[in-house]
Amino acid sequence: MARRDPQRNSRRDPQRLSTWFWREWRTLAFVTATGVLYNVGLGVGPWLEGRLAQTVADLASGTTTAAGLIRLALVYVITTAFVQAMRALKRLYVRKFANKSSRAMKKRIYASLLATPVSDLAAEDAGTMMTKALSDVDDCVEGMRKFTTELFDTGVALATYLVMLLVLDWRLTLLCLAFPTVSYVLAARMRRRVTCATTTSKRSAEHLSLATLERVEGAVPLRAFGEEATEGAHLEGRLADFERAATRAGVLTSALQPLYMGISCMSCGLILWLGGRNVLGTGWAAWDIAALTTFLTTYLRLAKKSSTAAKLFNAVQRASVSWERIRPFMAASDKFDQLRVPPPATLEARDLTLRRADGTPVVERANLTVSPSQIVGVTGRVACGKTFLGLALAGLAPHEGTVTLGGRDLKELREEGLLPVAYLGHDPELLSDTIAENVQLGRAGSVGQVTAEAGLEPDLADMPQGLATPVGEAGIALSGGQRQRVGLARTLLGQEPVLVLDDPFSAVDRMTEAQVLAALRRSYDDRVIVLISHRLELFHQLDSVVFLEDGHATQATHAQLLATCPGYRSLVQLQQEGGDLDEQA
């Protein structure tokens, strides 16, 4: 039996940060080539600047001509242009590396949550989990980007500058390096404080977001019970705590760089004193003006890079905090790396029984069949189990009996890494991002097409930023109808053969409802569509209707139910008379 390569396995382990570098090795190879050329080329600049200074001095003394100065200046310009071109290419591919890593990490988090049982998600709102996780992905990837950038812009550049300094005067170089070393030691000592401050700031931001959301969602009951002042004081306390934590984290991560730079630049006094002696011929080395200029310019660049390196340590620490928070989301099985969908097939429920937590049956021994290209409505009086049935048909709720797609159990399909059902719930859980990102979730597809089919076009036309409009925490910047339609567009973007839509028209007008239903007919005629709704005006257009009453599920056409089911007939009549199903609870 062939032995497994442990190194290969480690490269595939998504819970190892190195894996996310290895998977983009081609991009990083180009970054390496351009980074080395750029940073080695940086060493040519100080040397040419020194030669230019010496040539100007020689021109003043009459020992050279202006033509020599012009030739040297042209070489300097061409060299600088080449070095900066390499810098631009390196940064472009570093950004590509960061964007690809961010997309892959977010996709894996999405897959991880899809693979997580609903019971495990109940402890914390899935939207909140994703918002925190995706925000941490951005912080982590930013740290990876800075590390990749500074590995060359700092590491290779420092090595180049150091070699030049040692060649010019190794004794003076060793004396001058004492001050950058102090900045490194200081950055290392601040490491723990930076990590703690960053962690505290993130936790405080989470608490503030949740407190704000609770304050907005509970505005009416708080006002009714006279608790607005109390809750307002609580929110102010959270805000003050966040301000303190964010300020401390900002000072420790950003304001220290000038200190690091100042410490490193203290060596300039030594250079002017001891380097001047070298020029006068009384020092450790024999210098001319070019050598002094080259040494001073090179050291200043080294000092600047040293302060950047110290700042890099802090950036890496911030990224490590974010990585530790998102690493559990990376534990999904490798079969979820590429989300796949099974082919269209018939959805069937056989002897489906749903029970409440206390064991009381909500739906008993239901038998339902929905074929591709069919739209089936599910309705009934309030609390009859419509949502519970929708979750069971999506494979997201515990049940007795079977729910199959093409004869295969939904759980079995999910265990194989297949996504058979797309589910839209009452309250779509939106991320604190743009409308486009909330619809796309890292997937390919035409966002514009699905937003049009979901009836969002008129709303987007009134938004100056269009699809780039931020939705706010949990979609707070959108109306209820807009949130529902963003969720519908997100559901439609996937290729899942079954769509379970729970009350997608609860907050839209009749005209939009008719347009969306027509779009479902037109563009999704190869899907199984289960439409749960208490609005029955368009149910006569559906292929069949499932009516829930007293724990029983009856599937028939709209006309058949009107003729044979008094309960369904009374609901239709009530709505025709302008009533509301909620009144019949």
Structural domain ending residue among the three candidates 334, 361, 379: 334
Tell whether 71 is covered by a domain. Answer: yes
- Rg (C-alpha) for the chain, rounded Å, is 33
pLDDT for 194 = 75
Both tokens assigned to 125: 């709102």
User: What is the tally of structural domains in the chain?
Assistant: 2
The answer to whether residue 216 sits within a structural domain is no
Question: Do 352 and 324 share a structural domain?
Answer: no
Q: Which domain holds residue 312?
A: 6-191+266-334
The answer to whether 167 and 295 are in contact (CB under 8 A) is no
CB 363 within 8 A of CB 551: yes
Which H helix or E strand runs over 174? Answer: helix 170-176
**Start-to-end CA span in the chain (Å):** 66
> At residue 437, what is the residue type?
E
pLDDT tops 80 at residue 458: yes
Q: What pLDDT sits at residue 310?
A: 55
Whether 329 and 354 share a structural domain: no
Mean pLDDT score, 94-98: 88
Q: 13 and 85 share a domain? A: yes
What token pair was written down for 570? 């009374």
Quick one: average pLDDT of 285-310?
79
Same domain, 419 and 285: no
pLDDT band at 558 (very low <50, low <70, confident <90, very high): very high
- List helix spans (H) across 416-539: 435-440, 447-453, 457-461, 480-493, 510-523
Look up residue 316 and give its two tokens: 């890496």
CB 246 within 8 A of CB 199: no
Return phi, psi of residue 378, to 5°: -125, 125
Each as own residue / partner, the long-range contacts of residues 254-262 (CB below 8 Å, 24 or more positions apart, any chain) are: 256/186, 256/187, 256/190, 256/310, 256/311, 256/314, 257/307, 257/308, 257/310, 257/311, 258/307, 259/183, 259/186, 260/183, 260/186, 260/187, 260/306, 260/307, 260/310, 260/311, 261/183, 261/303, 261/304, 261/307
* DSSP secondary structure letter of residue 43: T
**Are both 375 and 304 inside the same structural domain?**
no
How would you classify the pairing of strands 347-355 and 361-370? antiparallel
Q: What is the CATH number of the domain that holds 559?
A: 3.40.50.300
Please tell me the distance from the alpha carbon of residue 158 to that of residue 305, in angstroms, as a whole number.
7
Half-sphere exposure of 403 (CA within 13 A, CB side): 24
Tell me which of 74-88, 109-123, 153-167, 265-279 is least confident.
109-123
Tell me if 204 is assigned to some domain: no
Burial of 565 (C-beta count, 10 Å sphere; 0-12/13-18/19+): middle
The model's confidence at residue 565, banded by pLDDT at 50, 70 and 90, is very high
Residues 358 and 421 in one domain: yes
Does the global pTM surpass 0.75? no
Q: What does the alpha-carbon distance between residue 145 and residue 66 come to, in Å, rounded to a whole number?
A: 45
Question: How many Cβ atoms are within 10 Å of 338's Cβ, its own excluded?
Answer: 9
Of 334, 358, 377, the residue at which a domain comes to its end is 334
Per-residue model confidence (pLDDT) at position 7:
41
Is the pLDDT at 130 greater than 90, yes or no? no
482 and 566 assigned to the same domain: yes
438 with 499, same domain: the answer is: yes
Q: At which residue do the structure tokens 């759980």 appear?
A: 411
pLDDT above 70 for 561 = yes
Contact of 413 with 420, CB cutoff 8 Å: yes
Q: What pLDDT score was predicted for residue 376?
A: 93
Angle ∠(125,127,133) on CA atoms, nearest 5: 105
The 10s digit of each residue's pLDDT in 406-449 is 888 888 887 776 778 888 887 777 877 888 888 887 677 778 88
Residues composing the chain: 585
Q: Which residue has the tokens 């190892």?
A: 16
The DSSP output letter for 155 is I
The structure tokens 């914390």 sit at 124
pLDDT grade for 5, boundaries at 50, 70 and 90:
very low
Among 165-179, 243-257, 267-281, 348-362, the range scoring the smallest mean pLDDT is 243-257
Residue located via tokens 């090595």? 159
- Asked whether residue 483 falls in the same domain as residue 361, the answer is yes
- Does residue 38 lie in a domain region? yes
For residue 487, pLDDT beyond 50 = yes
Which among 436, 362, 450, 452 has a CA at the least distance from the CA of 398? Answer: 362
Strands (E), 318-412: 347-355, 361-370, 375-380, 400-405, 408-409
Q: State how far the Cα of 130 lies from the Cα of 107, in Å rounded to an integer.
A: 11
Q: What is the DSSP letter of 466?
A: G
**Pairwise pLDDT comparison (578 vs 544), residue with the higher score:** 544
Rounded CA separation 260/186 (Å): 8
**Is 460 a residue whose pLDDT tops 80?**
yes
* Residue 257 placed within a domain: no
Instruction: Give the strands of the sheet with 361-370, arranged side by side.
Output: 361-370, 347-355, 400-405, 408-409
Higher pLDDT: 289 or 506? It is: 289
Instruction: In whole angstroms, give the CA distance from residue 448 to residue 429.
Output: 20
Among residues 213, 218, 210, 216, the alpha carbon closest in space to that of 241 is found at 210
> How many helices (H) and strands (E) are present in the chain, helices listed first?
25, 10
The region that residue 351 occupies, defined by phi over 0 for left and psi between -120 and 50 for alpha, beta otherwise, is left
Closest CA to 192 of 327, 324, 314: 314
Residue among 432, 434, 424, 426 at smallest CA distance from 494: 424
Task: Say whether pLDDT at 553 is over 50.
Answer: yes
Residue 50 in 3-state DSSP?
Answer: helix
User: How far apart are alpha carbons 410 and 177 in whole angstroms?
Assistant: 65
Q: Does 10 have pLDDT greater than 70?
A: no
Residue 280 is part of a domain; what is its CATH number?
1.20.1560.10
Q: How do residues 367-411 score in pLDDT, each as one tens digit?
A: 999 999 899 999 988 888 888 898 888 888 888 899 999 888 888
Shared domain check, 498 and 472: yes
Residue 330 sits in the same domain as residue 352: no
Using the predicted structure, report yes or no on whether residue 171 has a pLDDT greater than 60. yes
User: 3-state DSSP call for residue 501?
Assistant: strand
Q: What are all long-range contacts of 116-121, with beta carbons under 8 Å and residues at least 24 apart?
A: 118/391, 118/396, 118/397, 119/398
* pLDDT, mean of residues 102-125: 66
Classify residue 428: in a domain, yes or no: yes
Q: How far apart are CA 90 and CA 85, in angstroms?
A: 9
**Element spanning 556, H or E:** strand 552-556
Give the residue, 204 or 333, on which the prediction is more confident.
204
Tell me, yes or no, whether 278 and 360 share the same domain: no
> Do the domain assignments include residue 69?
yes
Is the residue at 255 inside a domain? Answer: no
What was the pLDDT predicted at 583?
Answer: 41
Domain boundary among 310, 334, 358: 334
Residues 484, 428 contacting (CB under 8 angstroms): yes
Stronger pLDDT, 211 or 488, i.e. the higher one: 488
Buried b (16+ CB within 10 A) or exposed e, 82-105: ebeebbebbbebbeebbeebbebb
Mean pLDDT of the chain: 80
